[in-house]
Amino acid sequence: MTAQLPTVEFYEGITETIDNVSLRRDRATGNRTMLLIFRQLRAIEQFQSFRSRFAKALKLVDSEGAIAIEPEGIRFIFGGPEGDDLQRVECSLVIDRDDHWDRLMRFMQRYAEANGMAYGESSQADGLS
């Protein structure tokens, strides 16, 4: 039996690469926020989004199965001389249940191991990069 490599999809069948992760916790509510940073989106770059079905949720798949989570927000950050070069995409996930957070963290551990990411602390927040 082969282990399922962890994957991330916005559009069905188009895998994306997470470039950085930031973890935060709201002290007032206890809710946890995971900010996923993508430097590029394959679906957009190859115009495949027009040929594939939008999942309406971020789909994370690993050896435990699939997680479908609707992002709290998605920001497209542009720059460059004309201001039209995609610099990064920020996808914010808010998790309010401990069991959901635990499952998401297990996925992120597997994803990090499979993609050469390591945990480290930054001056702003904790993250994987």
Domains observed in the chain: 7-117 (2.40.30.220)
Instruction: Work out the angle at residue 107's Cα, subtended by the Cα atoms of residues 6 and 109, and round it to the nearest 5 degrees.
Output: 95
pLDDT, tens only, 51-73: 555 557 899 999 999 999 999 99
- Which pTM was predicted? 0.80
pLDDT, tens only, 73-87: 989 899 989 988 889
Would the pLDDT of 18 be above 70? Answer: yes
Would the pLDDT of 97 be above 60? Answer: yes
